Structure 1
């Protein structure tokens, strides 16, 4: 088991009480990217924004590196690849680094994973992969993973469930075509790949929200219909904004609670009354000419 290193709590905690910080300006060409980098995708626009910030304000937080045993005079990056890439875009020749005296590959991998997760800009699939690596490589429980990265256990659990999805759906989430919420809803259809593919296409084509997707899946699992047929039924429902407006108008007009329950193009209106006198009052309002 790798030793406990408090990432995300200040650079000093990375080194422990007995390890001095080694800080200096390092030639950018001497830094080798981390071979265990958990991040698979770097958004070009995001890097440009970071590059502009670095150009204006400099690098506020130093990169964390360790000496590279395979190439004398070079350093392997542990944390800060976005800052490294953005610095290259700006054309910097040197960047501030802190050298960590750590040779254990497991510890370096653990640190790279946790540091990246704590940066909060991983996509959901990359974050889920990071949690899986911590569990498989270091034997962590989900509770321990949550504690190390400062997240709720339910957050870790829900993200790990995304890894059950087929690769094409995971790629959609990675690229932002589908959200994490869409992915969590689609997990219910992993045993039916044909329906899953058809529904995925409908979500992207029609821009269905997570709530609309969940409604489609609920209908799919309770009725033997194709996603397209159920989608057509749902599309006949009145828009949610109009639904809310009608409900408000009826509630104000009748001065009692009113519910409109939709079922495709059909539905029912429920009007509450609280006594026989109240029933007479509501009825009189409805029957007025």
Structure 2
């Protein structure tokens, strides 16, 4: 039997060694695209990018086991649709050895605003004009310049925390009003709550003490919020942050213990003698043990 580090174990390649150029008509999609796809900004960006700089990432296909010279489209449905709209007849493809589309779709990595900012900055540093970038991304030149300035006034530590998070651009404009330490605290609050909305970031800003704002001499103005309410929000936000920090310190250990307990109880309930004893003498324990054994999450169940 081969172990996990056995050098004699055979490794199977995920793709064939060479790309192949295929007629688009010989590629069969594995899923139907929504009717509204072509109205989306994302589709227009992909279309503009292919038109301006060509296809960056080739589609992934698998050989059809039933039809010769026919290929199944594993990944790249939107790109293929854009190529059809552009009148392209052939496309270079990667050939996968597995036709399971779930594997590829599961591993899709979305480009975050911070990553997009760095990509645009790198292109500009290499001499690519802003107008060409705007055409490739189907954006106005003003939007490109706004993306270039995205991290101006944001400290490196906050950027590191949010670098791969789906933060809207307006969120960074809110963070820019805070001093560096408060930016870090705010970024941690956003990540801990898994909430990157502008509304939540605005609430953090509203609960930020005056001394932690960039312009400390300028009073914060929030409509319909009295100074007393603002002071209370600041205190509650501070307590919330302290509570989150306290929970983080013990979460991993507590979760491990709960997982071990759940496994142990499941093993106990697999013994018929123990189940019979509990049914006869401790039925209330049995129902609780069964609920724990069947539990799929440590989070409380939502009310129906």
- Whether the TM-score (by the shorter chain) exceeds 0.5 is no
The answer to which structure has the higher strand fraction is 1
What TM-score, normalized to structure 2?
0.35
